[in-house]
Structures are given as C-alpha cells and as structure tokens.
Amino acid sequence: MDGKLVTMALAALPYVGFGALILYCRMNTALDLNNQMEITPLMRKALHAHFWYFIACPIMIEVFLDAVPGLNYIVGTMPPATTNGRHFLQCLAAENFFVTSVSLGFILNQSSVPRWALMTPFAQLAWNLKNHLSWFFMAPEGRMPFAFADMVLIWPITSVYVHTFFTTKKSSKKKG
C-alpha cells in the first residue's frame, strides 16, 4: 500500500475514535458531556503525571532540543537547526504540549469537572496513541526507542482516564 495512503488511514484513527466517543456519549444519558464528574484520587495522580510530563516539553522542544543527550538515537536524525521547517515544527509541537498542559492544569485544580473537560486530554491521547503506531511501525529510520518510553507513561494514563470517564457517576459538585 502507498505510504501516504497508510499514513492517511492511520491519521484517520483518532478522528474516528473521537467521533465514536462523542456519539456514544450523546446516545448514553449517563455519560452526558455536560454532567459533572468527580476527579478521583487515581485520576488526579494520572493528571499529575500527564501535566508534569507535558509542562516541561515546550521549553525542551524550543530551547533545549539540541542539548538532549542521545536525541538522535531515541527519535532519529534531527533536521538542521538552521531550517525554517524545523523551527516551524518545533513551534507547533511546543504549542500543542503547552495547550494540553494548561488544560490539564485547570482540570487538576477542580474536584469535579463536566465530562467535556476531558475532551482536550482525550484528543491529545488519541493522537499520541496513533503516534505510537507510527513510531513503532512506520518510522523512516526504523523503530524509535522513544516510542516505548512514551508508551510506558501514556498507556497507563489513558487507561485511568478512560476508566474514570466511563465509570465515575454524575457528581453534584460544581467547583473545587
């Protein structure tokens, strides 16, 4: 199969999965996205891990990317620092980590949130899980060792978020 077609199919997975989640929530009144849900102690731990992982990334990506020891080994050959393409990609990557970490920070400061508040972390995780497949099976220079390290953190976080989202009952609390 053509490489671009495979990439497009893989990129479609988060859209399809996210769309299915929203449709499922709309059909299931117990999962109404406007209902408040409690941030459980386990969820709070997962949010903390995700937050601290992501809050450091924008500065590392934009300022210290060349200072990360072994970066060429763990992710592959980096484009030259003097290209607009690399600068552009660094800025966009850092922006995405920043937006997600700000969302996580707001959620962390609440005792309960409307279910829809988890859509930003879910969207990030959906794309991240897609990335794991890409980094493991489609990377041009072979598997990226970073993929495994990222999976060790992201998959348990995803499991906790999904479990909490689907099992936490409607909360009467509104602010924390």
Whether the per-residue pLDDT at 96 is higher than 90: the answer is yes
Residue 172 in domain: no
| Structural domain range at position 59 | 3-167
Residue 176 in domain: no
Q: Measure the CA–CA gap between 100 and 50, rounded to whole angstroms.
A: 9
Residue 55 in domain: yes
Q: Measure the CA–CA gap between 43 and 112, rounded to whole angstroms.
A: 11
**Interacting residues of 85 by C-beta distance below 8 A, sequence separation 6+:** 79
Contact 173, 107 (CB under 8 A): no
The beta-strand segments (E) located in the chain are: 36-38, 112-114
Residue 173 in domain: no
Whether the per-residue pLDDT at 74 is higher than 80: the answer is no
| Count of domains observed in the chain | 1
Residue 58 in domain: yes
> Which tens digits make up the pLDDT trace of 78-95?
777 788 988 898 999 999
Residue 135 in domain: yes
> Which tens digits make up the pLDDT trace of 26-70?
999 999 999 999 999 999 999 999 999 999 999 988 888 877 777
User: Which residue is associated with the tokens 């660094």?
Assistant: 90
Residue 21 in domain: yes
> Which tens digits make up the pLDDT trace of 113-172?
999 999 999 999 999 999 999 998 888 888 888 899 999 999 999 999 999 999 987 666
Residue 175 in domain: no
